[in-house]
Structure 1
Amino acid sequence: MIEVSCRLVRPRFVLDANFTAASGCVALFGPSGSGKSTIVRLLAGLERPERGRIVMEGRTLVDTEARIDVPVHKRRVGLVFQDGQLLPHLSVRQNLDYGRSFAPRDARGVPFDAVVDLLGVGHLLKARPATLSGGERQRVSIGRALLAAPRLLVMDEPLASLDAARKLEILPFIERLRDEWALPIVYVSHAVEEVARLANTVVRMSGGRVVAAGAPGDVIGAAVPDTGGETYPRLSFVSAKVVRERPEFSVVILTHPAGEIVLPGSGFREGDAVRVAIAATNVALATEEPRGLSVRTRLKGRVAGIDHGEGPSVHVTVELAGGDRIVALLTRLAVADLGLKVGRDVFALVKAVAIDETAVGTLRRNQAAR
């Protein structure tokens, strides 16, 4: 459990943030300048609030009324930044050992070999940072933070400088830290796909304040505009299970009570439980089961709500067989021509190529397949 209630005043910026989040991966989400990195600095002890309290896993780090302010080196907060910040004159092994030197002697840290194995950097131990790819540098940076035996891992925009391929390389490692090692993570990002994939809890920031906090489907599944003028696509979250792989087509097939879901990519095993985030702009609706159509994902459901408005488009919410909901962004003309209304049976259609692979996360790995 992480509890934050802090006020910090700086020229042209005031942070007044309050939230409580269960352990797992807590995402601080919002546009640049919303206060995400300031909270990171408060958690790490690099800033001190004028007023407030920070509690991590039952341990009070800051309480201005009680005059508690745990020093940086005693907080055991591991930091991973956007650029990795590796020491250029040291090898990968030496950078990892540098992180291990910060672990308290009595701490039950993660063994060196286990970290190397988890992050797949064994073949890089003699290399210097300048020879590494962006994804490799970030893996080493994560390893260095882990070897310091942190109680909390804080990742501040760790994938922002990486391309899509390198992001897909790193995301599974972060999922394993969250699930297999049960390490509490605070993940900072303004990338909705990363947050949708990794977070158990999302804290949405705007103008130095928390505007929403809760499960991903409740916080980034709703089209809440930010006061900074930034909006994000409305997302739906659908949970399904991998039933088979089609490597010859580079796709996997998921089963859901409403129908099959076809996903691009690999890395999933039969039996894996998967959460898929789908943007409303990538969903079409049909009132009859379509035939002779290239779209492979066709999910049965019933219209549960229509957000009526005066603009050209509206959000239509469909309750799928099995209980999940999916939202489609349609023109008001299409809603009228199809005669859509609450209670009408429909099929939600999603193109596989429209699904962002970075927004597809494993909820539970099939251990038997290992």
Structure 2
Amino acid sequence: MIENIEVRFRGLLGRFMLDAEFSVPARGITGIFGPSGCGKTSVLRCIAGLQRVPDGVCRIEGEVWQDANRFVPVHRRPIGYVFQEASLFPHLSVTRNLLFGAGKTGAGGPELAEIADLLGIAHLLDRAPRNLSGGERQRVAVGRALLSNPRLLLMDEPLSALDRATKSEILPFLEGLHETLRLPILYVSHDMAEIERLADHLVLMENGRVIASGPLADLQSDPGLPLAASSEAAVSLDARVVAHDAENGLLVLEVDGGRFITPGTAAVVGSRKRIRVGAGDISLSRQVPGPSTILNVLPARVLSSSAAGEHEVAAVLGLGLDGAGARLVARVTRKSWTDLALADSAEVFAQIKGVALRRA
């Protein structure tokens, strides 16, 4: 079975030229990221069948939804679609909103109680939409999409209308979808913080074109792409819990080539945690540093470097003495780079505060 989502859309949508092509796994969350107006929503609408370009291909796990000979109409595509606005029916209760369109693609879908528990809305089922917060309304909209029993969930900037506090409230529930459901999700956003927290794979767009696609950490650490040179550059790593220091409130997390220590509550050994390592939170040393408050000192090797602005350098690091482990991106001043005689292939020690990982 072909377990990919394959799309190619080329043509004019009004005056906008879309030329987007990518293939991503039909599992986990794929983020579609780029500035406003770059074509992210247009790609989602083409996948849904809401828009059509003359030269279009859309295959979901080998099933053709669009090609030169076939175009499956939107009502026959087994998708769930979550928009920027929840758009709940004001005259229906939360329960009736959730069940609107439930099971339209056949039996075997998730149950109402299961979805309500997963999204933390079981206590809201009898309420009217007007009595919900913004975050609660959006969780109901996600639940309604899931109860339609889709094969693919499309989320078009679902948090863009929410303030930062409400985003923080709803993000753990979206992470729960990732951990609990096998359903593939295409998640559009222009907020990299959301992508870093949720996505496994990434599609980068610019001016109607896909400029790169692949595993999230690979694109974050690719010096040829704009993410690594950004002032907000970071790498998201999926780590395994190997220990918990209850006395000091610390977790030990393992990635390929190294271990991180970060503040955290008890977690099951072997479970997965995502950590975000910001480029600006890494300092480099050519020698083993002496005692300090920095908990994480990891041997690494400089794999490549490039200018990041006039006076800074972005360095891609590979963890481990041979540099074969997980990749990080460090951003340092040109002066520090020169003073330490840093260069590609140099052996270094990457230092990261544990509280920086907690903050992320």
Q: TM-score, normalised by structure 2?
A: 0.86
Please report how far the alpha carbon of residue 355 of structure 1 lies from its aligned counterpart in structure 2 after TM superposition.
Answer: 3.8
Cα-to-partner distance string for 1:254-287 (whole Å, 9 max, x where unaligned): 2457654244565854322233232212211123
* SS across alignment from 2:86: coil
Q: 2:264–2:358: 8 Å Cα contact kept in structure 1?
A: no
Alignment gaps of 5+ in structure 1: 359-370
**Change in CA separation of 1:233 and 1:88 when aligned onto 2, cut-off 3 Å:** same
Which residue, out of 348, 351, 359, partners 1:349? Answer: 351
**C-alpha distance in 1 between matches for 2:100 and 2:172:** 25
Cα-to-partner distance string for 1:230-276 (whole Å, 9 max, x where unaligned): 95733334443223456787764424576542445658543222332
Once the two structures are superposed, the pairs formed by residues 65-80 of structure 1 within 5 Å of their partners are 65-66=68-69, 68-80=70-82
**Change in CA separation of 1:131 and 1:179 when aligned onto 2, cut-off 3 Å:** same
**C-alpha distance in 2 between matches for 1:248 and 1:134:** 39
Match of 2:275 in 1: 276
Please report how far the alpha carbon of residue 288 of structure 1 lies from its aligned counterpart in structure 2 after TM superposition.
Answer: 3.1
Q: 1:103–1:149: 8 Å Cα contact kept in structure 2?
A: yes
Alignment gaps of 5+ in structure 2: none
**Change in CA separation of 1:264 and 1:129 when aligned onto 2, cut-off 3 Å:** farther
Matched, 1:323 2:325: yes
Cα-to-partner distance string for 1:138-196 (whole Å, 9 max, x where unaligned): 22111110111111100111122334443344334333433432101111112222223
Q: 1:238–1:326: 8 Å Cα contact kept in structure 2?
A: no
Aligned partner of 1:103: which letter?
K
Match of 2:17 in 1: 14
Aligned partner of 1:40: which letter?
L
Q: CA RMSD in A?
A: 2.8
Please report how far the alpha carbon of residue 18 of structure 1 lies from its aligned counterpart in structure 2 after TM superposition.
Answer: 1.3
* SS across alignment from 1:95: helix
Cα-to-partner distance string for 1:48-84 (whole Å, 9 max, x where unaligned): 1122121112221122x21x22122110210111222
Tell me which moved more, 90-99 or 301-310: 301-310
Match of 1:49 in 2: 53
Aligned partner of 1:80: which letter?
V
Aligned partner of 2:86: which letter?
G
* SS across alignment from 1:88: coil
Aligned partner of 2:43: which letter?
I
Tell me which moved more, 246-255 or 26-35: 246-255
Match of 1:87 in 2: 89
Match of 1:298 in 2: 297
Aligned partner of 1:301: which letter?
A
Q: 2:251–2:266: 8 Å Cα contact kept in structure 1?
A: no
**C-alpha distance in 2 between matches for 1:118 and 1:239:** 22
**C-alpha distance in 2 between matches for 1:129 and 1:252:** 40
Aligned partner of 2:92: which letter?
L
**C-alpha distance in 2 between matches for 1:113 and 1:164:** 28
Match of 2:239 in 1: 240
Once the two structures are superposed, the pairs formed by residues 176-325 of structure 1 within 5 Å of their partners are 176-222=176-222, 233-245=232-244, 252-256=251-255, 260-263=259-262, 268-307=267-306, 311-321=310-320, 323-325=325-327
**Change in CA separation of 1:268 and 1:174 when aligned onto 2, cut-off 3 Å:** farther
Tell me which moved more, 148-157 or 212-221: 212-221
**C-alpha distance in 2 between matches for 1:119 and 1:252:** 27
* SS across alignment from 1:33: coil
**C-alpha distance in 1 between matches for 2:204 and 2:309:** 28
* SS across alignment from 2:100: helix
Cα-to-partner distance string for 1:179-216 (whole Å, 9 max, x where unaligned): 43210111111222222332232111111111111111
Match of 2:109 in 1: 109
Q: Percent identity?
A: 40
Q: 1:243–1:271: 8 Å Cα contact kept in structure 2?
A: yes
* SS across alignment from 2:348: strand
Match of 1:2 in 2: 5
Please report how far the alpha carbon of residue 89 of structure 1 lies from its aligned counterpart in structure 2 after TM superposition.
Answer: 2.3
Q: 1:153–1:186: 8 Å Cα contact kept in structure 2?
A: yes
**C-alpha distance in 2 between matches for 1:309 and 1:40:** 32
